[in-house]
Structure 1
């Protein structure tokens, strides 16, 4: 497969004019956009040889380092570029990305804020600032920024990252518009491969593309399912890993469960697409979507005849190259289907699998967890960007109504924890009633749920993997299902467990139910007992049955494309 026409033209241009600085910079851009980090790095270095301190060349090399995961070097290079070109919004935006990943979250916010000052009317930059302020629990000017982004999407003026847009209080139709705009912009200049067909006979080859095949939420959710699919023996399983081996036990289990685990990390998009095509994949699942760290460009090349959006991105792809979305009837009811660009396919159980082989470790003492010796422990271990003003007002109202209780949260980036304590103080609460848990290895984090009496969810982006973790560890989850996919995942898990009373109608019911439970130790204990019984009996965590259901879906989709293999027994 040859490079796209623009890259070929630029490669030819630098061969004809090897001292053309601008051509080298443009080539670096084109190579990096194509995912060819090595070629982009080489072009950026050649530009630097011509003009050693030029900000455009420094920025491209910084971007290459960022894509290589060398985040500290990337931040240093992009800082140098930004210092030399302080009025360049694009370089400042890239600096923000690098600072995020280099562990300098407050400096990243400063960079995004500066880029926004330079181009206040650019929705993409506005959305980046908005998203990062949400992560830092910095709620200044949040409503104005959100309204600007939503207006731009509504007017078709914006290319905004759909994943960040899920945190806005937007409708499913708005989310579809956002995803379609992003997909249309991404598809420009990406030629598809020649059409492929599903094999007419034989064992179907199912492919799964993700950057989460390791100690990552996607790996944790899927590993036991892949093991059951391998044991069932009806599919040839191919995992395409966009991330390198992290040495985790999850990665080792995935390697053993797959017939082939293809390490395609740091490969150009065209190379990855070719690997998928050469593997003869019949049905390809995109396990990343717009979630960041994925490669939608690969899917846009159509490497497989059937392509499916599933699991990691809780919304529509808006992309013409994705044929189906896999869901369940609660998380994606009929009323929501018109806001999805894909054909909706539903599983009979919750769409989200889980690792049902996990064993809870003994929990450390309450004191060791920073918890008081007595009192109800309410928890919300969702990521900080979900802790918006509306969600925190609900949680603060519950704390007011349950004397002596504490709220256990996951520690956020930068000064997020301090900002939440300040918000608690403004809500007339003792900030000490907020307890923050550092990020821990998964088994240690999971064990701590044994001290939590009730998980209180967020809105509009609610708990997903975190809800599964809580329920598996025996902690009931109270949620308020909304009208978008991202706001209905925890509700889906409760629904399929039969924990219907923990799905409430609105904020008032959420607060009232949480206060009632928090002041009734017997009711909390009964809820845990009911959850323990439903966990065993409901089928939510039955991965052997999930493997049969998923295999049946894959076979049905293949039959629609001419496959004539045997039905699953």
Structure 2
């Protein structure tokens, strides 16, 4: 009876009376959750947040289901002031718990509030933000809509921008940021996110202008200085990058990840072989000098956001970068691995794919995984919400498990799946897929040719390859145990090669003359390979080289400037970025293509050769330069394979002189390409390799 009177007094705003009644009941009813719930609200009302949380946890000890909390109907009958008290406390608890061990309890509380009637826009905005943090995008969107209907605010538009960004809707995120800034030009979080979005689309000057406005408001905001350092480094402005890194570290000297980044600062597009060799030597020395051990468990909240360089560029710089990659990985101390229980029935395989890598994954591995025998293996895609739409459309038969921006929560959630193996389609192309293996997501972890070569990560157990992709003494090129599958690890068909059929002129190319394509990522243009292009240009002044611009305009300018030192402008054609059907049309219009070294074509090789484009290649000793040769072996063709730089040049000159030969070779490729499509042994070989790795 006294507890009921205390609750009524609390609702009526009679705090002193309620407190006295609750105090008298502590000795008599210490196990009643209603007692501790009332005391929690009183403490919160008095500004004692820690005591309020302690009392609330006490209430949950006696009633973990929190049935003492009012449902929506009861909440609607409370006085407005009491509604606000209750609501503000629960919102604060959710905010405090959503990123910690009480995350699931926070989620349940948020779902309870989801049923409460919204009384004002701020409440709806806070709930939208919390549901976004709790990886509930649909509920977050609903509360965003309601908040904007009640009273549009910059903060709500910013929450919507974050939501759109996490779902991969870059244009929607940008529009929401601009709406936020239209309402409040001083909303620095929206301005910074807009800067990030503009930077992603390489609108560099506008992005920089927004960053500078943020710094004018928050001159001591260290993370933005670090981000500016990464931007300057990506553009090759190393002195400016170091100034930004040092400013960030002066503000936050304990940031070990930033300190490591400052140590390994290098240009992604070296202007010459000399600069490249100097960069590699400096990297070796920097990794040797850096003596700060980085416990990854201490930096979980930073790993996905810091944008630390994972040294993937080493694959472009050097044929064999394993020693450097291992030296880099040694600086990170992995958390203690959990125990996984071996499954006796069908295998459970998790496949991690990070945002913006979905297209390549679908072409190379997605359909192969979907073709595996479901009686033998259960495949679960480990993805972020941004990838949901494309995978729901393209691979509806595979399960999808969503990871959240909360690193620690995502790791624990995946570990709880008790996966027999986790396949990291790529490891090192971004911080997410580089650092996730350190946290041991499954009993066995492996990668394959999407990673370009060995990762150097101690926790990566296996590397899946094929005999045709490996050179002699291949095992020495890997920190992982090398597992060889007889078939090439790909599963694709002609329906994935739907060209727009555009003519040369429609693509912006000359209708006549010999066109040698270099349709690769411009980072693959090694300074040593430029000598080959220069000699070909001198051999045939009428020859045109066709490149496709990267999304980074500064990189495009740097590559053009390098080439113009040795090749006339009339011989260089740079096309803008092409949509996939037009890119495939380009492959149909070229006379032949040049495969560079040390990092040659991957997915592109399967597309080009299947479309009949002669791709001249010179395989090295490692996987990343041997994919075209492996494809030619399947087709029983060796004409376009050279084994030295001299032979490569001789074959290239012959193709320049004899376009009719290229045309005949194209017909041969088209006649034989069926051998590449849906190789019947590929799924069985992949499954056999998986079973071997999981049984070891």
**TM-score after normalising by structure 1:** 0.74
Structure 1 match to 2:329: 183
Quick one: higher RCO (CA 8 Å, sep 6+), 1 or 2? 1
Structure 2 match to 1:557: 693
**TM-score after normalising by structure 2:** 0.62
Query: 2: CA distance between counterparts of 1:218 and 1:305?
Result: 23
Q: How many residues align?
A: 492
- Name the CA shift for 1:401/1:311 in 2 (closer, same or farther; >3 Å): same
Q: How does 1:145-544 map to 2 (within 5 A)?
A: 145-153=279-287, 161-169=310-318, 172=320, 175-188=321-334, 190-193=335-338, 195-200=339-344, 202-211=345-354, 215-229=358-372, 233-242=375-384, 244-245=386-387, 247-248=389-390, 252-254=393-395, 256-258=396-398, 260-264=399-403, 266-354=404-492, 356-412=494-550, 413-427=552-566, 429-537=567-675, 540-544=676-680
Instruction: Tell me, yes or no, if the aligned pair for 2:517 and 2:590 is still in contact at 8 Å.
Output: yes
Task: State the SS of the aligned residue for 2:473.
Answer: helix
Q: How does 1:19-34 map to 2 (within 5 A)?
A: none
Query: 1: CA distance between counterparts of 2:313 and 2:648?
Result: 25
Instruction: Tell me, yes or no, if the aligned pair for 1:96 and 1:107 is still in contact at 8 Å.
Output: no
Deviations 1:147-173 (A, max 9, x none): 322444577879973312212235x3x
Q: How does 1:14-163 map to 2 (within 5 A)?
A: 65=193, 79=212, 92-97=225-230, 106=235, 111-112=240-241, 114-115=243-244, 124-125=261-262, 127-131=264-268, 133-134=269-270, 141-153=275-287, 161-163=310-312
Gaps of 5+ in 2: 1-48, 52-95, 101-129, 135-154, 156-185, 201-205, 250-258, 293-307
Deviations 1:517-543 (A, max 9, x none): 121123212221222233213xx4325
Deviations 1:116-149 (A, max 9, x none): 8999xx8844754311x35xx7989444334322
Query: 2: CA distance between counterparts of 1:214 and 1:360?
Result: 20
Query: 2: CA distance between counterparts of 1:492 and 1:289?
Result: 22
- Name the CA shift for 1:333/1:511 in 2 (closer, same or farther; >3 Å): closer
Which region of structure 1 is more displaced relative to structure 2, 105-114 or 504-513? 105-114
Q: State the shift of 1:227 in Å.
A: 3.3
Q: State the shift of 1:359 in Å.
A: 4.0
Which region of structure 1 is more displaced relative to structure 2, 493-502 or 333-342? 493-502
Query: 2: CA distance between counterparts of 1:318 and 1:340?
Result: 7
Query: 2: CA distance between counterparts of 1:107 and 1:147?
Result: 17
Instruction: Tell me, yes or no, if the aligned pair for 1:386 and 1:459 is still in contact at 8 Å.
Output: yes
Query: 2: CA distance between counterparts of 1:406 and 1:481?
Result: 24
Query: 1: CA distance between counterparts of 2:392 and 2:519?
Result: 24
Structure 1 match to 2:684: 548
- Name the CA shift for 1:406/1:251 in 2 (closer, same or farther; >3 Å): farther
Higher helix share: 2
Deviations 1:355-414 (A, max 9, x none): 553243342121121111111111111111111322222123223323422111111322
Instruction: Tell me, yes or no, if the aligned pair for 1:223 and 1:355 is still in contact at 8 Å.
Output: no
Q: State the shift of 1:286 in Å.
A: 0.9
- Name the CA shift for 1:216/1:127 in 2 (closer, same or farther; >3 Å): farther
Query: 2: CA distance between counterparts of 1:82 and 1:168?
Result: 35
Instruction: Tell me, yes or no, if the aligned pair for 2:504 and 2:510 is still in contact at 8 Å.
Output: yes
Q: State the shift of 1:348 in Å.
A: 0.5
